[in-house]
């Protein structure tokens, strides 16, 4: 069916239209898990992905997925819950964390039964490795909670979920780029406008429910571990639809990206017995985290490396990295448990870890903040007197969402868990919603104009500044002004710089070639998305005057629970910030009140 709209010249044209019960934007683990739940319940589901589904960033996840299966060492979901809350520096919502940790074991077993080829112990059970921030008995000995398929766990999960979706007859729009949400006057979300990347032809996908599952925004930073597609499109779409972004000041820097390149060397390497040394050959983590050492939480290890480098104890001629040693481990263990890491290290660092240590440094990795949701995946916004209301018809799951189970710092292995647990939960809630909301609501012709005008803006050719150079400037600015350590004057300058780059983007044009390739247009649209999120991130970071988890302020070095035990909400309109309380009360068990966080 077609609907009238305007082209870039303002002429009426027909826009092709498709209808589904649910539109899922994003085919990573989060989107695919939700789509599977829906397709298996006989809902009609359309999944839009800007890359072929199995190229989504989930495919790159290495180390594994957490669940207290107790296959290797004693374990219990309650200990997992405690570690996650402590890891979040007490900013995580304890009801959502309880829900996730309780669901973890069944979720992993469900994945196993769907066909995920987990590595095995001698007794046939799923292999589990030690990861950072994991403990037995509420802060006691190291636990081994991360279920792994060698060092390619995300690959195994994503391919399995994709195949299950094909089997369940989910409809895929591969290589379609979602532009913006479509909304009616009462605030219902009615689907989205997308374009087919190959042809540039727009399409209106009308849906009773829309789930955003577009992943993280690691491309905000120059040095990052993320795929080039991780430009936070869904978060920016939500911002433009008037939805605030939660906790954007919390961006995780992974301690071990390959120095100068950024590719991730999984925490699983330290879980298998690898450790860090500085330029003096010292195992420095013993000083910063005497108990957990190299398996302290990621924010702690990243800061420790940054201090070592700042104080001149780095390695190499520029003393700009430290070394990750694994050459003391048995070569067979490396080949069997870490084959992908060995490959990456040989390709990008020119080092075979069997013989020599890997040069590493902290690298932007994970977006803790995102679209505010409850544990059913419903997008929630503050209404009158602080109460939260769901946005009708809109859901979010995966890295783009902030439930919040990761708070100020995510534990390794908890993101793959988050995407499958909350992807599934969102699917279940949508099934209930569809029972009450059985008909498509009418879409006014004008409601697609905004999305199409964004597209048309990049049709005008010229010789303006190139999108690529603006993008590089933005990312370098974020590295420099909003990195591992932050402080007032630097952040203030960062806000000014980012706003100046935003202004430059208003005047940018695609180069005046005879033909504009859609990929160039897509990159421009992605940069607009990154731009909105960069402003959200620096503004939120400037306002939070304390150090908590990944947000580390030199001028406010302590955590301040009295004033700052709260989530930030950044609104695009007026660049305004509001705050909302942390859910300290879990669902059924006693809460874990904030206490000092030591490893």
- Which residue is at the shortest CB distance from ligand FAD? 28
Closest CA to 371 of 189, 155, 107, 494: 189
**Least gap, CB of 319 to ligand FAD (angstroms):** 26
Nearer to ligand FAD, 248 or 542 (CB): 248
Q: How many CB atoms lie within 10 A of CB 485?
A: 15
Nearer to ligand FAD, 223 or 414 (CB): 414
Torsion (CA) 113, 114, 115, 119 in degrees, nearest 10: -50
Give one word for 513, left, alpha or beta, with left for phi > 0 and alpha for psi -120 to 50.
beta
For residue 166, the surrounding DSSP H or E stretch is helix 153-167
**Least gap, CB of 321 to ligand FAD (angstroms):** 18
List the catalytic residue out of 102, 240, 298, 553: 298
Token pair 């826009």 is found at 15
What is the rounded CA–CA span in Å between residue 3 and residue 442? 12
What are the DSSP calls for 307-358, one per residue? HHHHTT--BTTTT-BEEEE-TTS-HHHHHHH-HHHHHHIIIII---TTTSPE
Closest CA to 421 of 22, 30, 27: 30
What is the rounded CA–CA span in Å between residue 268 and residue 256? 11
Nearer to ligand FAD, 29 or 314 (CB): 29
Contact status, residue 139 vs residue 16, Cβ threshold 8 Å:
no
In Å, what is the CA distance from 149 to each residue of 1, 321, 337?
45, 29, 8
**Least gap, CB of 239 to ligand FAD (angstroms):** 13
Q: Is 298 a catalytic residue?
A: yes
**Least gap, CB of 78 to ligand FAD (angstroms):** 20
**Least gap, CB of 251 to ligand FAD (angstroms):** 13
**Least gap, CB of 29 to ligand FAD (angstroms):** 4
Binding site residues, ligand FAD, CB under 6 A: 25-31, 48-51, 53, 56-58, 60-65, 153-154, 177-178, 213-216, 225-226, 229-230, 233-234, 264, 266, 366, 398-400, 412-416, 419
Nearer to ligand FAD, 26 or 494 (CB): 26
Nearer to ligand FAD, 300 or 403 (CB): 403
Nearer to ligand FAD, 237 or 577 (CB): 237
Please state the φ and ψ torsions of residue 350, each to the nearest 5 degrees. 65, 30
Q: What's the DSSP call for residue 142?
A: B
**Enzyme catalytic residues:** 298
């Amino acid at each position: 069916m077609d609907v009238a709209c305007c082209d870039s010249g303002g002429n009426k044209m027909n826009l092709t239209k498709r209808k589904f019960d649910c539109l899922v934007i994003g085919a990573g683990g989060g989107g695919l898990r939700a789509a599977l739940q829906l397709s298996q319940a006989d809902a009609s589901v359309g999944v839009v992905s800007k890359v072929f589904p199995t190229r989504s960033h989930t495919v790159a996840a290495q180390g594994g997925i957490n669940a207290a299966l107790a296959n290797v060492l004693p374990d219990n979901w309650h200990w997992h819950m405690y570690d996650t809350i402590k890891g979040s520096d007490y900013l995580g919502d304890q009801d959502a964390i309880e829900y996730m940790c309780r669901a973890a074991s069944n979720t992993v077993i469900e994945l196993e039964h769907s066909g995920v080829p987990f590595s095995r112990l001698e007794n046939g059970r799923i292999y589990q490795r030690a990861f950072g921030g994991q403990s037995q008995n509420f802060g006691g000995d190291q636990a081994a909670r991360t279920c792994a398929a060698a060092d390619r766990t995300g690959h195994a999960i994503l391919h399995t979920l994709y195949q299950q979706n094909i089997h369940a007859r989910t409809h895929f729009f591969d290589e379609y780029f979602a532009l913006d949400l479509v909304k009616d006057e009462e605030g219902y979300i009615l689907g989205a406008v997308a374009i087919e990347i190959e042809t540039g032809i727009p399409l209106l996908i009308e849906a009773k429910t829309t789930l955003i599952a577009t992943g993280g925004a690691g491309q905000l930073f120059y040095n990052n571990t993320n795929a080039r597609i991780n430009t936070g499109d869904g978060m920016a779409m939500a911002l433009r639809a008037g939805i605030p972004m939660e906790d954007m000041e919390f961006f995780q820097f992974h301690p071990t990206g390959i120095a100068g390149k950024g590719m991730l060397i999984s925490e699983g390497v330290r879980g298998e017995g690898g450790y860090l040394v500085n330029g003096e050959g010292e195992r420095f983590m013993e000083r910063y985290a005497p108990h957990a050492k190299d398996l302290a939480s990621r924010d702690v290890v990243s800061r420790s490396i940054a201090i070592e480098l700042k104080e001149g104890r780095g390695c190499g001629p520029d003393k700009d990295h430290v070394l990750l040693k694994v050459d003391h481990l048995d070569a067979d263990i490396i080949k069997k448990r870490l084959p992908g890491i060995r490959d990456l290290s040989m390709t990008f660092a020119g080092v075979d870890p069997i013989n020599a240590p890997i040069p590493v440094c902290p690298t932007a990795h994970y977006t803790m903040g995102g679209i505010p949701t409850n544990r059913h995946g419903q997008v929630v916004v503050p209404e009158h007197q602080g109460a939260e209301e769901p946005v009708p018809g809109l859901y979010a799951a995966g890295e783009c969402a902030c439930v919040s189970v990761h708070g100020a710092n995510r534990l390794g292995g908890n993101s793959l868990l988050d995407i499958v647990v909350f992807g599934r939960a969102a699917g279940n809630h949508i099934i209930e919603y569809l029972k009450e909301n059985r008909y498509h609501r009418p879409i006014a012709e004008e409601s697609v104009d905004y999305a199409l005008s964004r597209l048309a803006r990049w049709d005008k050719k010229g010789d303006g500044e190139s999108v690529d150079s603006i993008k590089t400037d933005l990312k370098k600015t974020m590295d420099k002004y909003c990195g591992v350590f932050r402080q007032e004057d630097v952040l203030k300058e960062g806000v000014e710089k980012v706003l100046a780059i935003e202004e430059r983007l208003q005047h940018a044009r695609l180069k005046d070639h005879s033909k504009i390739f859609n990929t160039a247009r897509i990159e421009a649209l992605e940069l607009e998305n990154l731009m909105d999120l960069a402003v959200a991130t620096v503004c939120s970071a400037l306002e939070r005057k304390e150090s908590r988890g990944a947000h580390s302020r030199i001028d406010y070095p302590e955590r301040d629970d009295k004033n700052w035990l709260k989530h930030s909400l950044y609104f695009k309109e007026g660049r305004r910030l509001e705050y909302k309380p942390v859910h300290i009360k879990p669902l059924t068990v006693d809460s874990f009140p904030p206490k000092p966080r030591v490893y």
